[in-house]
Amino acid sequence: MNNNRKNHKLYIGLILAGLIVLLILAGLIRSPYPPQKMEASLKLAGISAAHPMGCDQFGRDILSRVMIGARTTFLIAFVTNAIGLFFGILIGALTGYFGGFFDEILMRFNDVMLSFPSILLALVLIALMGPGTYQVMIAMGIVFIPSYARIVRSEFIRFRNMDYVLAIRLMGGSHLRIMFLHILPNVKGTILTSLIIGFNNAVLCEAAMSFLGIGVQPPDASLGLMLSEAQGFLFRAPSYALLVGFVMICMILSFSLLSDSLKEVQG
């Protein structure tokens, strides 16, 4: 590890992530205004001391809505990746470690899933389940499984014939023990970096789906939904779209920077 060169990316990433987390935590405790409270006199009001980010088309305080919107977006990204990762590791570990006929079938099915653009596949699933926050989580979670399965599988194939895996088999260790106590820790680094890329993809994917009106439904707030609302008033209140977009950029940038710096630390 190189300690002489300062890891600027790590610090910037940490600061940005800290800001976002602070925003979300503050929203959990108390937002400046109730996020659904409308005030007709403040329609599309600009930035002021009372409303640091201005107000939206119904006179709702944007800062308060960004607070809960960022939380929803974060939660969706988190759950989506948790689903994708859990099943991805399970499928990838089994197919990669054992190989054979089962592996062939699951991987061809995987190829089929991967050959669709992910947003299209999520659209189909949403069409089956109907729109809503939880449906978005499940649909996107399913869409995220194949790519994780693929990554985990290739790593397991790399490690399954290592001498130390043989050595543990010779000690009488079971396959499950080898898979999850010995190989998985070695795959951890690869999973971590792909997890962060997956997280960013999920944030963008949620934004795209809410933008299309099939994601989070009003009056709930998410960053994607707020962006799609803001586009109607792009010229009358450009600060609305710009500020929400800025928060989203911060979120994605912080995770990209963290991922990059983690890769550097890993070497």
Partner 1 sequence: MMLQVKDLSIEFHDHLVPETVVYDFDLQMEPGEIVGIVGESGSGKSMSALAIAGLLSRKDMRKKGQILYAGKDLLTCSRKELRALQGKEIGMVFQEPMHSLNPLRKVGWQVEEALLLHSDLTKEERKEKALQMLSMVELKDTERIYRSYPHELSGGQRQRVMLASALICHPKLLIADEITTSLDVTVQAAILKLLQRFNKESGISILFISHDLNVVKKICQRILVMQKGRVVEEGTTEGLFENPKTEYTRELLDSIPKIRKLTV
Residues contributing to the site for partner 1 (CB under 8 A): 100, 162-164, 166-174, 177, 182, 185-186, 188
Residue 98: CB minimum distance to partner 1, A: 10
Q: Are 150 and 92 in contact (CB under 8 A)?
A: yes
Using the minimum distance from each CB to partner 1, give the nearer residue, 25 or 181. Answer: 181
Please, which residue, 128 or 170, has the CB nearer to partner 1?
Answer: 170
CB of 186 to partner 1, least distance (A): 6
| Residue 99 neighbours by CB under 8 Å, 6+ apart | 157
CB of 155 to partner 1, least distance (A): 13
Closest CB to partner 1 among residues 65, 160: 160
Give the integer Cα–Cα distance in Å for 17 and 31: 19
Nearer to partner 1, 89 or 243 (CB): 89
Closest distance to partner 1 from the beta carbon of 173 (Å): 6
The distance in angstroms from the start CA to the end CA of the chain is 7
Task: Give the separation between CA 75 and CA 133, rounded to whole angstroms.
Answer: 10
Nearer to partner 1, 166 or 242 (CB): 166
List Cβ neighbours of 89 (8 Å cut-off, separation of 6 or more).
Answer: 148, 149, 152, 184, 191
The nearest distance, CB 148 to partner 1, in angstroms, is: 20
In whole angstroms, give the CA distance from residue 105 to residue 177.
25
State both tokens at 24: 């979300």
Cα–Cα distance measured from residue 183 to residue 223, given in angstroms and rounded to the nearest whole number: 38
Q: Which is nearer to partner 1, 43 or 169 (CB)?
A: 169
Q: In terms of CB distance, is 145 or 191 closer to partner 1?
A: 191
Residue for token pair 């960022």? 70
| Geometric angle at alpha carbon 256, from 250 and 259, rounded to 5° | 140
Q: Which residues partner with 61 through β-bridges?
A: 55
Q: Are 191 and 152 in contact (CB under 8 A)?
A: yes
DSSP secondary structure letter of residue 58: T
CB of 151 to partner 1, least distance (A): 18
**Minimum distance, C-beta of residue 182 to partner 1, in the bound complex (Å):** 5
